[in-house]
Chain A
Amino acid sequence: QKEVEQNSGPLSVPEGAIASLNCTYSDRGSQSFFWYRQYSGKSPELIMSIYSNGDKEDGRFTAQLNKASQYVSLLIRDSQPSDSATYLCAVNTDYGGSQGNLIFGKGTKLSVKP
């Protein structure tokens, strides 16, 4: 059973702080990793993708991937109250000739306090 694990939180940080969100996955062959943001009652919104070991930065967001440890993280710098949402880690666990699909973690709820 392919699994993606996240701490459900809630993770509470003050406005302006760095929020650190973590994710582990079970399938060592996974190749593509994604972070989605989901506001309550809304659909997942893609915020970052990462495919290679190391860091990838996009604005206030940095995704980090360590395939040897099967670990993905998301850092949000200068956190804003509008960042308050559930952050979903998703892993593409199909490879080879198939279309692929994403396996999601349950998400970490982030609360940014003004």
Chain B
Amino acid sequence: EPEVTQTPSHQVTQMGQEVILRCVPISNHLYFYWYRQILGQKVEFLVSFYNNEISEKSEIFDDQFSVERPDGSNFTLKIRSTKLEDSAMYFCASSGGRLQSNEKLFFGSGTQLSVL
């Protein structure tokens, strides 16, 4: 069964360092997302991406965050200067179409980011 793949599964970094989280969405999917979940809290939307552009971003997705589709298969989330409060599980997700067209969202296994 096709799945969303994320690497690394765990990332430890020092405050102020840059991190790049990587994702390979399901191969025939065109719509991509990043969500995060701080321990014990809700899954929160960060950003959606389609056709090499950001479709929508939340208040969390400030200037320290960026996304990129560097090639035909990868989708990355970069945090330029990490803060302690960026520590969370980051989930990549993809869908085959727009969610209001009754498409479904499938999640990767996540990257646990720990900022020290």
Contact = CB atoms under 8 A, between A and B. Distances in A.
Contacts of A43: 91, 107-110
B105 interface: yes
A45 B50 CA distance: 22
Interface residues of A, number: 27
A94 interface: yes
B104 A46 contact: yes
B99 A92 contact: yes
Give the secondary structure class of A's interface. Answer: loop
B84 interface: no
Nearest to B48: A99
Interface string A58-99: 000000000000000000000000000000101010111011
Interface of B: 31, 33, 41-45, 48, 50, 55-56, 91, 98-100, 102, 104-110
Interface of A: 31-32, 34, 36, 42-46, 49, 51, 88, 90, 92, 94-96, 98-107
